[in-house]
Amino acid sequence: MTATLITHARLIDPEAGTVRPGAALLQGGRIATLFDTPFPEVSDAARLDANNAFLAPGIIDIGVKVGEPGERHKESYKTAGLAAAAGGVTTMVTRPDTAQPIDTPEVLEFIKDRARDDAPVNVLPMAALTKGRAGREMTEIGFLLDAGAVAFTDCDHVCTDTKVLIRAMTYARSLGALVMCHPQEPGLSHGAAATSGKFATLRGLPTVPPMAERMGLDRDFALVEMTGVRYHADQLTTARALPALERAKHNGLDVTAGTSMHHLTLNDMDVADYRTFFKVKPPLRSEDDRQATVAALRNGLIDIIGSFHTPQDEESKRLPFEEAASGAVGLETMLPVLLRLYHSGELDLPTLFRALSLNPAKRLGLDAGRMSQGAPADLVLFDADKPFVLDRFKLHSKSKNTPFDSARLQGKVIATFVAGTPVYRSA
Amino acid sequence: MRFDQRHLLGIEPLRPDEIGTLLDLADSYVTLSRRREKRSSALSGLTQINMFFENSTRTQSSFEIAGKRLGADVMNMSMQASSIKKGETLIDTALTLNAMHPDLLVVRHPHSGAVDLLAQKVNCAVINAGDGRHEHPTQALLDALTIRRAKGRLHRLNIAICGDIAHSRVARSNILLLQKMENRIRLVGPTTLVPPVLKEFGVEIYEDMREGLRDADVVMMLRLQKERMDGGFIPSEREYYHRFGLDAEKLSFARPDAIVMHPGPMNRGVEIDGTLADDINRSVIQEQVEMGVAVRMAAMDLLSRNLRARPTELSA
């Protein structure tokens, strides 16, 4: 296998919390050597001059939806993989909320095959926690683990039968499986299209109070305390939920939490005149909530950022707001969009990659996500400053439902490496 | 005297002077409508389509009469009986209609924002005849005209809006309009129907109806929209009537010359006492219906002037 030497880079090390100039030698699928000098002498290596761009551990995106099986017209493993590579995502952790839910080892094997054949990046599948994500019977957690499921989740279907959930969590605990939940009180969120507040009132949209998130989280934490399961909250997006997370962590529960790129960078006002590409789940929050979420990410309370990539075709979105489908694509736009927080001074780069790469790797027990010798050479090389105007029709995803169409962004991926092999090079 | 709108989708985008322009013109249409010969030719040659995705006899006939008095060719489409049932999307319906070259499209839809969406896809002028819980601009304009004619002004009035504010597009449009014209607004009703978030709009909120009506110049009652209730916003109709139904005793807290309004259709004995509703000295409910036709004539007249000023668009 040929070696690649990336010279004159700025290395982002999320473990050490540093950015330092240097070079990296990729060999045998791993980071063979890191150099403190920008132009080290190495023979027998293809050289790539980074021109002082940033080199970071590749993004591990927990919560990506691909349309297979069932909705391949919205996204296939091939197109999602290309979008991921172009966005610096080296590992997609996929959701089981497909048209046919991923709830049996057979379906899981099918998508693993599809991913292996078609996607240029790593794919780690999650499986449903209950059959059909219906919240009535647990799935074959043991078989699914053996088949390669890295976590168990019913995604946005909140299990309301607490007995079912306790048993599933207890069983998962006995096998050491990670359970991911969507903290939300469904009695309050049912039918909602926006977060309660002045804006939603003005627009006359059905709403969910932000407190519904904390109510869901409080219940889940009570069950975690009972069962001892390893728990991850998929998205925390409100200020009121954060003290509950802090308490749970302080009390030693094995819990982590994520948030989404959209809730870190947009607020409820962005919906403006019923723009359905801004309809996500949970709905966009107030600016106060957005700022609280960014602060929680900065201080490490919130562990992980995901794109919650949700491809929807035009027909699903070209409807009155209440009827339109939720979700946005994000694999390819996540890094430039989140760099807004870097440019505005809200987050530094090591903190950003702690949440994008290091923490997801740790939570899933992966070796990746680190800028250190011996770590897998899953890397993203990017220019943090390059300005561009996003054109949604140029995205690699089959679906083009991004709220950032025509947005002015700064930061472009130059190259993405998976196991030392370039899977994307910018034109 | 300017009116710069292409559509009438809500009160929110209107300037106070545009509201004044529209009401002035509506005044002249009240005069016209009271004559034996009521025809004008302001809309002659134009096609008006009334598209109602939600049943409404009153609003639809008001728009129909308004259009016919101005000489438009008016067509009513009851969308519940048509292609929507066959699974056609709103945008496809809009494009189909657009190909028939209407000039004025009057739309009512059960979902907030649906009329805005439709307006983006057609070349004609669109009038929102009510979308979900969002806006019902011609209702607010007819209420404003009624108030202006009864009170001689449309500013510095104490106006109490009572009842189911949470589910009411009429309330939203009225709050927006009456605030633009610098009135003092109180909202009266149980907290389940008058959510505290409404305070952010700069209105006062009262749970005690007598307090809320004190010294009011205008008492605007809203229909208790039973069909919109998910269930359980109020304990019972009779408790609601006891606390929030308008009767002579509660009305006595308002100014002696206060007028009583209701957008109709009324639930007699639920939100308003029947005798009071019929009291011609206090109730302007019939005037509201009359002003409705005049305001809709004025709105369509102004929009058609802007329409005629634009070059004909060849693309369908």
Closest by Cβ to B90, choosing from A202, A203, A320:
A320
Per-residue pLDDT, B316: 39
Rounded Cα gap, residues A288 and A294, in angstroms: 10
The Cα–Cα gap between A425 and B57 comes to 63
Q: Which residue of A has its CA nearest to B195?
A: A201
Domains and CATH numbers, chain A: 76-364 (3.20.20.140)
Q: Rounded distance, CA B262 to CA B146, Å?
A: 11
B199 marked as part of a ligand binding site: no
Q: CA-CA-CA-CA torsion for A29, A32, A38, A39, nearest 10 degrees?
A: -90
Q: Which domains does chain B have, with CATH numbers?
A: 7-135+290-309 (3.40.50.1370), 137-284 (3.40.50.1370)
Q: Do B111 and A201 touch (CB under 8 A)?
A: no
Closest residue in B to A203 (Cα) is: B134
Nearest to B113 among A196, A318, A321 (CB): A321
Of A197, A205, A315, the CB nearest to B112: A205
Indicate if the alpha-carbon torsion angle A159, A163, A168, A172 is positive or negative: positive
Query: Which residue among A205, A206, A320 places its CB closest to the CB of B117?
Result: A320
Q: Is B136 annotated as a binding residue?
A: yes
CB B286 within 8 A of CB B55: no
Question: Minimal Cα–Cα distance from B9 to chain A, Å?
Answer: 11
Q: What is the pLDDT of residue B232?
A: 81
- From chain B residues 183-202, the ones with a CB under 8 A of any chain A CB are 195, 197-198, 200-201
- SS3 per residue for chain B: CCCCCCCECCCCCCCHHHHHHHHHHHHHHHHHHHCCCCCCCCCCCCEEEEEECCCCHHHHHHHHHHHHHCCCEEEEEEHHHCHHHHCCCHHHHHHHHHCCCCCEEEEEECCCCHHHHHHCCCCCEEEEEEECCCECHHHHHHHHHHHHHHHCCCCCCEEEEECCCCCCHHHHHHHHHHHHCCCEEEEECCCCCCCHHHHHHCCEEECCHHHHHCCCCEEEECCCCHHHCCCCCCCCHHHHHHHHCECHHHHCCCCCCCEEECCCCCCECCCECHHHHHCCCCECHHHHHHHHHHHHHHHHHHHHHHHHHCCCCCCC
- pLDDT for A291: 98
Q: How far is B242 from chain A (nearest CA, A)?
A: 28
Asked if B109's CB is within 8 angstroms of A203's CB, the reply is no
What phi and psi values does residue B76 have, to the nearest 5 degrees? Answer: -105, 130
Q: What angle do CA A118, A123, A124 make, to 5 degrees?
A: 145
- Asked whether this complex has an ipTM greater than 0.90, the answer is no
Which residues of chain A are within 8 Å of residue B134 when distances are taken between CB atoms? 203-204
Residues from chain A that touch B198, judged by Cβ atoms under 8 A, are 201
CA pair distance A240, A250, nearest whole angstrom: 17
Nearest Cα to Cα of residue B246 among B170, B162, B169? B162
Chain B contact probe: residue of A201, A205, A207 with most B CBs at under 10 A: A201
Positions of chain B with pLDDT under 70:
81-87, 227-231, 312-316
pLDDT score of B314? 47
Indicate the pTM of the whole model: 0.91
Instruction: State the CB neighbour count (10 A cutoff) for residue A19.
Output: 19
Q: Cα–Cα distance between B211 and B187 in angstroms, integer? A: 11
Q: What is the mean pLDDT of each run of 10 residues along chain A (427 residues)?
A: 91 97 96 95 91 98 96 96 98 97 97 96 98 97 98 97 97 98 96 94 94 98 98 98 98 98 97 95 97 98 98 94 96 98 97 98 97 97 97 97 97 97 93
The two three-digit tokens of residue A29, written as one number: 């699928």
Q: Do A204 and B198 touch (CB under 8 A)?
A: no
- The span from the CA of B103 to the CA of B312, in Å, is 11
> Which residue in B136, B137, B130, B154 sits closest to B259, CA to CA?
B154
CA distance B134 to chain A (A): 4
CB within 8 Å: B111 and A322: yes
Sheet hosting strand A178-181, strand order edge to edge: A152-153, A178-181, A230-233, A255-260, A304-306
* Structure token digits, residue A335: 């890094």
Nearest to A381 by CA among A357, A416, A331: A416
